[in-house]
Amino acid sequence: MATSTTKIRQIGNSRGILFPKSILDKSGIKDNVKISVKDHVIMISSADKPVKKKWSDFKKASKVKADFVVNRFDETDWTW
């Protein structure tokens, strides 16, 4: 297990930690992280980058919703 000691630094109104490159390389963390706290322990792990939705994804979603709409026309006027 890789260990390192570092100071918590003032960054604007917040505080932060700079991670040594060797620690980040061993962790596999690239850009996004997931941070959680349990029993006074801060856990930082790699987070999958959120998939950016395209306009076509919203159009597909609205078509799916439209398939489940029931109206009076479907019940009375539609014939095969």
Q: What is the per-residue DSSP string for 9-49?
A: EEETTEEE-PPPHHHHHHHT--S-EEEEEETTEEEEEE-PP
Mean pLDDT of 19-27: 87
pTM for the structure as a whole = 0.50
Specify the pLDDT at position 36: 93
User: Does the pLDDT value for residue 1 go beyond 90?
Assistant: no
Whether the Cβ atoms of residue 2 and residue 26 lie closer than 8 Å to each other = yes
